Protein backbone atom coordinates (compact mmCIF):
# COMPACT_ATOMS: atom_id res chain seq x y z
CA UNK A 1 0.00 0.00 0.00
CA UNK A 2 1.23 3.46 -0.88
CA UNK A 3 2.53 5.45 2.09
CA UNK A 4 1.72 9.03 2.95
CA UNK A 5 4.16 11.72 4.08
CA UNK A 6 2.61 14.67 5.92
CA UNK A 7 4.98 17.53 5.10
CA UNK A 8 4.79 20.53 7.45
CA UNK A 9 6.53 23.68 6.23
CA UNK A 10 6.72 27.46 6.35
CA UNK A 11 8.23 29.57 3.55
CA UNK A 12 10.02 31.58 6.27
CA UNK A 13 12.34 28.67 6.99
CA UNK A 14 15.38 28.01 4.78
CA UNK A 15 15.39 24.39 5.97
CA UNK A 16 11.77 24.08 4.73
CA UNK A 17 13.00 25.24 1.32
CA UNK A 18 15.78 22.62 1.35
CA UNK A 19 13.23 19.94 2.27
CA UNK A 20 10.82 21.11 -0.45
CA UNK A 21 13.51 20.71 -3.12
CA UNK A 22 14.00 17.02 -2.18
CA UNK A 23 10.92 15.47 -0.58
CA UNK A 24 8.83 15.11 -3.75
CA UNK A 25 11.66 13.30 -5.54
CA UNK A 26 12.02 10.96 -2.57
CA UNK A 27 8.28 10.32 -2.42
CA UNK A 28 8.06 9.70 -6.17
CA UNK A 29 10.92 7.21 -6.06
CA UNK A 30 8.95 5.07 -3.60
CA UNK A 31 5.43 5.74 -4.89
CA UNK A 32 4.52 7.64 -1.72
CA UNK A 33 2.15 10.61 -1.52
CA UNK A 34 3.11 13.96 0.00
CA UNK A 35 0.33 15.74 1.89
CA UNK A 36 1.11 19.45 2.11
CA UNK A 37 0.65 21.02 5.53
CA UNK A 38 1.48 24.74 5.33
CA UNK A 39 1.71 25.95 8.95
CA UNK A 40 3.07 28.88 10.93
CA UNK A 41 6.56 28.31 12.33
CA UNK A 42 6.28 31.17 14.82
CA UNK A 43 3.07 29.68 16.20
CA UNK A 44 4.67 26.26 16.60
CA UNK A 45 7.71 27.75 18.37
CA UNK A 46 5.43 29.63 20.74
CA UNK A 47 3.16 26.69 21.56
CA UNK A 48 6.04 24.23 21.98
CA UNK A 49 8.17 26.62 24.06
CA UNK A 50 10.91 26.50 21.43
CA UNK A 51 12.82 29.32 19.77
CA UNK A 52 14.30 29.99 16.35
CA UNK A 53 17.85 28.60 16.01
CA UNK A 54 19.02 32.00 14.77
CA UNK A 55 18.16 33.41 18.24
CA UNK A 56 21.34 31.72 19.50
CA UNK A 57 24.02 33.73 17.63
CA UNK A 58 26.64 30.96 17.48
CA UNK A 59 24.00 28.48 16.30
CA UNK A 60 22.92 30.93 13.61
CA UNK A 61 26.50 31.23 12.33
CA UNK A 62 26.92 27.46 12.21
CA UNK A 63 23.47 27.00 10.61
CA UNK A 64 24.26 29.37 7.76
CA UNK A 65 27.32 27.26 6.89
CA UNK A 66 25.42 24.01 7.42
CA UNK A 67 22.69 25.14 5.01
CA UNK A 68 25.35 25.96 2.45
CA UNK A 69 26.85 22.48 2.78
CA UNK A 70 23.43 20.89 2.13
CA UNK A 71 22.83 23.28 -0.79
CA UNK A 72 26.03 21.94 -2.37
CA UNK A 73 25.12 18.34 -1.58
CA UNK A 74 21.67 18.73 -3.15
CA UNK A 75 23.03 20.78 -6.06
CA UNK A 76 20.33 23.43 -5.77
CA UNK A 77 20.13 27.23 -6.01
CA UNK A 78 20.06 29.15 -2.76
CA UNK A 79 20.67 32.66 -1.55
CA UNK A 80 20.16 33.83 2.03
CA UNK A 81 17.28 36.31 2.01
CA UNK A 82 18.22 39.95 2.69
CA UNK A 83 14.93 40.56 4.52
CA UNK A 84 15.26 37.48 6.79
CA UNK A 85 13.32 36.80 8.97
CA UNK A 86 10.18 37.41 6.87
CA UNK A 87 6.75 37.37 8.51
CA UNK A 88 4.95 34.76 6.42
CA UNK A 89 1.52 34.72 8.09
CA UNK A 90 -0.15 36.17 4.95
CA UNK A 91 1.77 33.86 2.63
CA UNK A 92 0.83 30.78 4.68
CA UNK A 93 -2.83 31.81 4.57
CA UNK A 94 -2.46 32.10 0.80
CA UNK A 95 -1.00 28.59 0.77
CA UNK A 96 -4.13 27.15 2.38
CA UNK A 97 -6.26 28.99 -0.17
CA UNK A 98 -4.05 27.64 -2.95
CA UNK A 99 -4.37 24.14 -1.51
CA UNK A 100 -8.16 24.46 -1.45
CA UNK A 101 -8.27 25.84 -4.98
CA UNK A 102 -5.84 23.27 -6.40
CA UNK A 103 -2.84 25.41 -7.31
CA UNK A 104 -0.68 24.80 -4.24
CA UNK A 105 2.14 23.24 -6.26
CA UNK A 106 2.67 26.42 -8.29
CA UNK A 107 2.15 28.61 -5.23
CA UNK A 108 4.75 26.71 -3.16
CA UNK A 109 7.23 27.02 -6.01
CA UNK A 110 6.56 30.74 -6.43
CA UNK A 111 6.97 31.49 -2.70
CA UNK A 112 9.94 29.25 -1.94
CA UNK A 113 11.90 30.40 -4.99
CA UNK A 114 11.04 34.07 -4.51
CA UNK A 115 12.44 33.98 -0.97
CA UNK A 116 15.28 31.45 -1.18
CA UNK A 117 16.52 31.78 -4.75
CA UNK A 118 15.59 35.26 -5.95
CA UNK A 119 16.01 37.20 -2.68
CA UNK A 120 12.56 38.81 -2.80
CA UNK A 121 11.08 40.47 0.27
CA UNK A 122 7.83 38.52 0.40
CA UNK A 123 6.78 40.49 3.46
CA UNK A 124 6.00 43.33 1.02
CA UNK A 125 2.51 42.99 -0.58
CA UNK A 126 3.64 44.73 -3.80
CA UNK A 127 6.43 42.18 -4.21
CA UNK A 128 3.97 39.32 -3.55
CA UNK A 129 1.63 40.67 -6.24
CA UNK A 130 4.44 40.80 -8.79
CA UNK A 131 5.72 37.32 -7.90
CA UNK A 132 2.18 35.88 -8.30
CA UNK A 133 1.75 37.61 -11.67
CA UNK A 134 5.12 36.27 -12.84
CA UNK A 135 4.02 32.77 -11.80
CA UNK A 136 0.77 33.09 -13.74
CA UNK A 137 -1.30 33.09 -10.54
CA UNK A 138 -4.15 35.43 -9.58
CA UNK A 139 -2.89 38.01 -7.06
CA UNK A 140 -6.40 39.36 -6.35
CA UNK A 141 -7.95 36.09 -5.26
CA UNK A 142 -4.82 35.21 -3.27
CA UNK A 143 -4.70 38.66 -1.64
CA UNK A 144 -8.38 38.45 -0.65
CA UNK A 145 -7.85 34.99 0.88
CA UNK A 146 -5.20 36.44 3.20
CA UNK A 147 -7.96 38.34 5.02
CA UNK A 148 -10.57 35.56 4.83
CA UNK A 149 -11.74 34.56 8.36
CA UNK A 150 -12.14 30.91 7.33
CA UNK A 151 -8.61 30.76 5.96
CA UNK A 152 -7.28 32.48 9.08
CA UNK A 153 -9.02 29.85 11.17
CA UNK A 154 -7.65 27.06 9.00
CA UNK A 155 -4.07 28.26 9.46
CA UNK A 156 -4.64 28.36 13.20
CA UNK A 157 -6.03 24.81 13.04
CA UNK A 158 -3.23 23.30 10.92
CA UNK A 159 -0.67 24.89 13.26
CA UNK A 160 -2.49 23.57 16.34
CA UNK A 161 -2.67 20.11 14.71
CA UNK A 162 1.09 20.28 14.11
CA UNK A 163 1.72 20.96 17.80
CA UNK A 164 -0.70 18.17 18.76
CA UNK A 165 1.34 15.86 16.53
CA UNK A 166 4.51 16.69 18.47
CA UNK A 167 6.04 19.35 16.23
CA UNK A 168 8.34 21.93 17.81
CA UNK A 169 9.89 23.20 14.56
CA UNK A 170 9.74 22.81 10.78
CA UNK A 171 10.20 21.32 8.32
CA UNK A 172 8.79 18.13 9.76
CA UNK A 173 7.40 14.91 8.33
CA UNK A 174 4.96 12.39 9.72
CA UNK A 175 4.91 8.85 8.32
CA UNK A 176 2.76 6.19 9.99
CA UNK A 177 2.27 8.48 12.97
CA UNK A 178 6.03 8.89 13.52
CA UNK A 179 7.54 12.40 13.57
CA UNK A 180 10.77 13.15 11.72
CA UNK A 181 12.04 16.66 12.31
CA UNK A 182 14.40 18.54 10.02
CA UNK A 183 15.50 18.55 6.41
CA UNK A 184 18.47 16.49 7.63
CA UNK A 185 16.17 13.58 8.53
CA UNK A 186 14.78 12.86 5.06
CA UNK A 187 16.88 9.68 5.04
CA UNK A 188 14.73 8.36 7.90
CA UNK A 189 11.61 9.47 6.00
CA UNK A 190 12.89 7.53 2.99
CA UNK A 191 13.48 4.43 5.12
CA UNK A 192 9.97 4.77 6.54
CA UNK A 193 8.32 4.80 3.09
CA UNK A 194 10.56 2.12 1.53
CA UNK B 1 49.09 15.50 5.18
CA UNK B 2 47.10 13.81 7.93
CA UNK B 3 44.10 15.81 9.12
CA UNK B 4 43.11 16.51 12.69
CA UNK B 5 39.60 16.33 14.17
CA UNK B 6 39.07 18.26 17.39
CA UNK B 7 36.32 16.29 19.13
CA UNK B 8 34.43 18.18 21.86
CA UNK B 9 32.27 16.05 24.14
CA UNK B 10 30.65 15.66 27.52
CA UNK B 11 29.67 12.29 29.00
CA UNK B 12 26.35 13.87 30.04
CA UNK B 13 25.21 13.99 26.41
CA UNK B 14 23.76 10.89 24.73
CA UNK B 15 24.66 12.39 21.34
CA UNK B 16 28.29 12.65 22.52
CA UNK B 17 28.16 8.93 23.27
CA UNK B 18 26.79 8.20 19.78
CA UNK B 19 29.59 10.30 18.26
CA UNK B 20 32.24 8.59 20.41
CA UNK B 21 31.17 5.16 19.10
CA UNK B 22 31.78 6.26 15.49
CA UNK B 23 34.33 9.06 15.18
CA UNK B 24 37.46 6.97 15.82
CA UNK B 25 36.46 4.46 13.14
CA UNK B 26 35.88 7.32 10.69
CA UNK B 27 39.20 8.95 11.57
CA UNK B 28 41.10 5.66 11.26
CA UNK B 29 39.59 4.95 7.84
CA UNK B 30 41.09 8.21 6.53
CA UNK B 31 44.29 8.28 8.58
CA UNK B 32 43.09 11.32 10.55
CA UNK B 33 43.88 12.06 14.18
CA UNK B 34 41.22 12.71 16.82
CA UNK B 35 42.15 15.30 19.45
CA UNK B 36 40.03 14.78 22.54
CA UNK B 37 38.48 17.92 24.01
CA UNK B 38 36.46 17.02 27.11
CA UNK B 39 34.41 20.11 27.98
CA UNK B 40 31.39 21.09 30.04
CA UNK B 41 28.12 21.12 28.09
CA UNK B 42 26.30 23.20 30.71
CA UNK B 43 29.03 25.85 30.53
CA UNK B 44 28.80 25.99 26.73
CA UNK B 45 25.00 26.31 26.83
CA UNK B 46 25.28 29.14 29.36
CA UNK B 47 27.98 31.08 27.49
CA UNK B 48 26.32 30.66 24.09
CA UNK B 49 22.81 31.49 25.35
CA UNK B 50 21.59 28.05 24.30
CA UNK B 51 19.57 25.49 26.23
CA UNK B 52 19.41 21.70 26.41
CA UNK B 53 17.08 20.21 23.77
CA UNK B 54 15.30 18.26 26.51
CA UNK B 55 14.14 21.60 27.97
CA UNK B 56 11.62 21.75 25.12
CA UNK B 57 9.33 18.81 26.01
CA UNK B 58 8.22 18.00 22.43
CA UNK B 59 11.85 18.18 21.25
CA UNK B 60 12.88 15.84 24.04
CA UNK B 61 10.25 13.29 22.99
CA UNK B 62 11.39 13.44 19.36
CA UNK B 63 15.06 13.31 20.36
CA UNK B 64 14.62 10.12 22.37
CA UNK B 65 13.18 8.43 19.27
CA UNK B 66 15.79 9.99 16.99
CA UNK B 67 18.62 8.68 19.21
CA UNK B 68 17.07 5.22 19.06
CA UNK B 69 17.00 5.37 15.25
CA UNK B 70 20.71 6.23 15.16
CA UNK B 71 21.46 3.49 17.72
CA UNK B 72 19.89 0.99 15.32
CA UNK B 73 21.70 2.48 12.33
CA UNK B 74 25.06 2.29 14.11
CA UNK B 75 24.28 -1.13 15.60
CA UNK B 76 25.45 -0.14 19.08
CA UNK B 77 24.28 -0.73 22.65
CA UNK B 78 22.35 2.08 24.30
CA UNK B 79 20.05 2.57 27.25
CA UNK B 80 18.64 5.91 28.35
CA UNK B 81 20.14 6.70 31.75
CA UNK B 82 17.73 6.56 34.70
CA UNK B 83 19.55 9.40 36.46
CA UNK B 84 19.55 11.71 33.38
CA UNK B 85 20.58 14.53 33.43
CA UNK B 86 23.80 13.72 35.30
CA UNK B 87 26.05 16.51 36.54
CA UNK B 88 29.36 15.57 34.92
CA UNK B 89 31.60 18.39 36.15
CA UNK B 90 33.68 15.98 38.28
CA UNK B 91 33.85 13.38 35.51
CA UNK B 92 35.00 15.97 32.95
CA UNK B 93 37.72 17.13 35.33
CA UNK B 94 38.78 13.50 35.63
CA UNK B 95 38.88 13.31 31.83
CA UNK B 96 41.43 16.14 31.66
CA UNK B 97 43.53 14.39 34.31
CA UNK B 98 43.25 11.14 32.33
CA UNK B 99 44.28 12.99 29.16
CA UNK B 100 47.32 14.44 30.93
CA UNK B 101 48.27 11.08 32.41
CA UNK B 102 47.76 9.16 29.18
CA UNK B 103 44.78 6.92 30.01
CA UNK B 104 41.99 9.01 28.46
CA UNK B 105 41.01 6.26 26.02
CA UNK B 106 40.16 3.84 28.84
CA UNK B 107 38.57 6.61 30.92
CA UNK B 108 36.29 7.74 28.05
CA UNK B 109 35.21 4.15 27.49
CA UNK B 110 34.53 3.61 31.20
CA UNK B 111 32.46 6.79 31.56
CA UNK B 112 30.50 6.62 28.30
CA UNK B 113 29.61 2.95 28.73
CA UNK B 114 28.77 3.30 32.42
CA UNK B 115 26.25 6.04 31.63
CA UNK B 116 24.88 5.07 28.21
CA UNK B 117 25.12 1.28 28.19
CA UNK B 118 25.07 0.13 31.82
CA UNK B 119 22.71 2.76 33.28
CA UNK B 120 25.06 3.77 36.12
CA UNK B 121 24.46 6.95 38.08
CA UNK B 122 27.87 8.52 37.55
CA UNK B 123 26.83 11.50 39.62
CA UNK B 124 27.37 9.23 42.65
CA UNK B 125 31.05 9.12 43.78
CA UNK B 126 30.71 5.53 45.09
CA UNK B 127 29.49 4.39 41.67
CA UNK B 128 32.36 6.25 39.97
CA UNK B 129 34.88 4.50 42.23
CA UNK B 130 33.46 1.08 41.39
CA UNK B 131 33.36 1.82 37.65
CA UNK B 132 37.01 2.95 37.73
CA UNK B 133 38.05 -0.17 39.64
CA UNK B 134 36.18 -2.38 37.16
CA UNK B 135 38.02 -0.61 34.32
CA UNK B 136 41.39 -1.21 35.97
CA UNK B 137 41.88 2.51 36.64
CA UNK B 138 43.02 4.20 39.85
CA UNK B 139 40.00 5.76 41.61
CA UNK B 140 42.16 7.58 44.18
CA UNK B 141 44.27 9.54 41.71
CA UNK B 142 41.19 10.29 39.61
CA UNK B 143 39.16 11.35 42.65
CA UNK B 144 41.93 13.66 43.85
CA UNK B 145 42.19 15.27 40.39
CA UNK B 146 38.52 16.23 40.59
CA UNK B 147 39.42 18.74 43.33
CA UNK B 148 42.72 19.85 41.79
CA UNK B 149 42.70 23.65 41.16
CA UNK B 150 44.83 23.27 38.01
CA UNK B 151 42.44 20.69 36.54
CA UNK B 152 39.45 22.86 37.48
CA UNK B 153 41.10 25.75 35.64
CA UNK B 154 41.85 23.56 32.63
CA UNK B 155 38.19 22.49 32.32
CA UNK B 156 37.18 26.12 32.47
CA UNK B 157 39.73 26.92 29.75
CA UNK B 158 38.78 24.08 27.37
CA UNK B 159 35.11 25.08 27.73
CA UNK B 160 35.93 28.75 27.07
CA UNK B 161 38.03 27.73 24.03
CA UNK B 162 35.03 25.73 22.76
CA UNK B 163 32.81 28.80 22.97
CA UNK B 164 35.52 30.92 21.30
CA UNK B 165 35.54 28.36 18.48
CA UNK B 166 31.82 28.86 17.91
CA UNK B 167 30.40 25.92 19.86
CA UNK B 168 26.88 26.23 21.28
CA UNK B 169 26.38 22.50 21.99
CA UNK B 170 28.12 19.13 21.86
CA UNK B 171 29.26 16.85 20.42
CA UNK B 172 31.09 19.08 17.98
CA UNK B 173 34.00 18.66 15.62
CA UNK B 174 36.47 21.12 14.19
CA UNK B 175 38.39 20.26 11.03
CA UNK B 176 40.55 22.91 9.35
CA UNK B 177 38.93 25.59 11.51
CA UNK B 178 35.40 24.62 10.40
CA UNK B 179 32.79 23.70 13.02
CA UNK B 180 30.51 20.70 12.53
CA UNK B 181 27.91 20.35 15.23
CA UNK B 182 26.11 17.16 16.15
CA UNK B 183 26.58 13.41 15.90
CA UNK B 184 24.40 13.66 12.79
CA UNK B 185 27.08 15.67 10.98
CA UNK B 186 29.86 13.09 11.01
CA UNK B 187 29.30 12.64 7.26
CA UNK B 188 30.49 16.23 6.77
CA UNK B 189 33.44 15.53 9.09
CA UNK B 190 34.27 12.49 6.95
CA UNK B 191 34.10 14.60 3.76
CA UNK B 192 36.37 17.19 5.38
CA UNK B 193 39.09 14.64 6.22
CA UNK B 194 38.84 12.66 2.96
* Interface touch B69/A163, C-beta < 8 Å: no
Nearest to A62 among B69, B166, B184 (CB): B166
Spatial separation of the C-alpha atoms in residues A109 and B72, rounded to whole Å: 36
Spatial separation of the C-alpha atoms in residues A107 and B60, rounded to whole Å: 34
The secondary structure element, H or E, covering residue A175 is: strand A172-175
pLDDT band at B2 (very low <50, low <70, confident <90, very high): confident
What are the chain B neighbours of A185 within 8 Å (beta carbons)? 66
Question: What tens digit of pLDDT does each residue of B35-82 get?
Answer: 999 999 999 999 999 999 999 999 999 999 999 999 999 999 999 999
Which residues of A lie inside 8 Å of B (Cβ-Cβ)? 48-50, 55-59, 61-62, 65-66, 69, 163, 166-169, 178-179, 181, 184-185, 188
Residues A64/A58, Cβ–Cβ less than 8 Å = no
Q: What is the pTM of this model?
A: 0.96
To test the contact with chain B by mutation, choose from A58, A61, A71 the residue with the greatest count of B C-beta atoms within 10 A, namely A58
Domain A4-193 - what CATH class?
Answer: alpha beta
Crossing angle of helices A89-101/A104-116, nearest 10°?
Answer: 150
| Per-residue pLDDT in tens (0 to 9) along chain A, 194 residues | 789 999 999 999 999 999 999 999 999 999 999 999 999 999 999 999 999 999 999 999 999 999 999 999 999 999 999 999 999 999 999 999 999 999 999 999 999 999 999 999 999 999 999 999 999 999 999 999 999 999 999 999 999 999 999 999 999 999 999 999 999 999 999 999 99
- The minimum CA-CA distance between A150 and chain B, rounded to whole Å, is 28
**Residues whose CB is less than 8 angstroms from the CB of residue A38 and which lie 6 or more positions away in sequence, other chains included:** A9, A10, A92, A95, A96, A99, A104, A155, A158
- The minimum CA-CA distance between A61 and chain B, rounded to whole Å, is 8
Q: Classify residue B55 by its DSSP letter.
A: G
* Interface touch B167/A58, C-beta < 8 Å: yes
What are the chain B neighbours of A179 within 8 Å (beta carbons)? 62, 65
To test the contact with chain A by mutation, choose from B58, B166, B182, B183 the residue with the greatest count of A C-beta atoms within 10 A, namely B58
What are the chain A neighbours of B170 within 8 Å (beta carbons)? none
At residue A11's C-alpha, the angle toward residues A10 and A12, to 5°, is: 90
Q: In chain A, whose CA is at the least distance from the CA of B192?
A: A69
Cis peptide before A171 (omega within 30 of 0): yes
Largest Cα separation within chain A, whole Å, is 45
Spatial separation of the C-alpha atoms in residues B14 and B72, rounded to whole Å: 14
What are the chain B neighbours of A50 within 8 Å (beta carbons)? 56, 58-59
What are the chain A neighbours of B49 within 8 Å (beta carbons)? 55-57
Amino acid sequence: MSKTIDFYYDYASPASYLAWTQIYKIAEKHGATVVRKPALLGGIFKSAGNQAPMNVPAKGRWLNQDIQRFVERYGIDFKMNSAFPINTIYLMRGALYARREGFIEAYDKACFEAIWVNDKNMGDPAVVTQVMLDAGLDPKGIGASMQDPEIKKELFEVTAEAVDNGLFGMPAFIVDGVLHWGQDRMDFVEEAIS
